């Protein structure tokens, strides 16, 4: 029966089974072959358990202990942090962007927060690029140089 797993039986994948499991997929596409826990076709993959909470469908561990979603190492670049001022696509608003910082995700988020605080402005971190509202190139270059990064002012 499609959806029978660990002596708990779900009438259809996507439903709550007898033992409190929720399975990925709704069975709407009968031509699609899914490979799950046992490696057989049409095997349902558990994504939630009332015993363990959310479960990663890749490594099948609780989301808090997931091994497969660990932060990737920082992208390999030339080791130079580039600071530029941009206005394109922002309705004429000036934004200072910082890219090429060789730090992993959490450290990069922390650096973005500290730069926003030191500049006294708002900003965000998008796809490894720190965006600060306003033109703060000089203060950002000074701050990053003081932290030991090789920094270049890029663009105009």
All residues at 6 or more sequence positions from 102 whose CB lies less than 8 Å from its CB, including other chains = 74, 77, 79, 81
List, in sequence order, the alpha helices (H) in the chain.
105-119, 137-146
pTM over 0.85: no
Residues of the chain with CATH 3.30.780.10: 80-153
SS (H, E, C) 121-146: CCEEEECCEEEEECCCHHHHHHHHHH
Give dist(CA 12, CA 119) in Å, integer. 55
Report the alpha-carbon angle 128-133-138, nearest 5.
85
| pLDDT tens series, the chain, 156 aa | 444 444 444 444 444 444 555 555 544 444 444 444 444 444 555 556 666 677 777 777 777 777 765 655 666 778 899 999 999 988 989 999 999 999 888 889 999 999 999 999 999 999 889 999 999 999 999 999 999 999 999 886
| 80-153: CATH topology | Translation Initiation Factor Eif1 (3.30.780)
């Amino acid at each position: 029966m499609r959806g029978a797993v660990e002596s708990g039986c779900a009438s259809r994948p996507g439903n709550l089974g007898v033992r409190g499991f929720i399975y990925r997929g709704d069975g709407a596409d009968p031509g699609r072959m899914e490979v799950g826990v046992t490696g057989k076709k049409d095997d349902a993959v558990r994504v939630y358990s009332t015993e363990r909470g959310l479960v990663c469908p890749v490594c099948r561990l609780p989301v808090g202990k997931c091994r497969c979603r660990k932060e990737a190492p920082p992208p390999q670049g030339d080791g130079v942090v580039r600071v530029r001022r941009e206005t394109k696509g922002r309705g004429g608003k000036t934004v200072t962007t910082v890219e090429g910082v060789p730090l992993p995700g959490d450290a990069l988020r922390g650096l973005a927060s500290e730069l926003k605080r030191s500049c006294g402005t708002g900003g965000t971190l998008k796809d490894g690029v720190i965006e600060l509202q306003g033109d703060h190139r000089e203060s950002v270059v000074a701050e990053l140089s003081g932290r030991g990064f090789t920094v270049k002012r890029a663009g105009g």
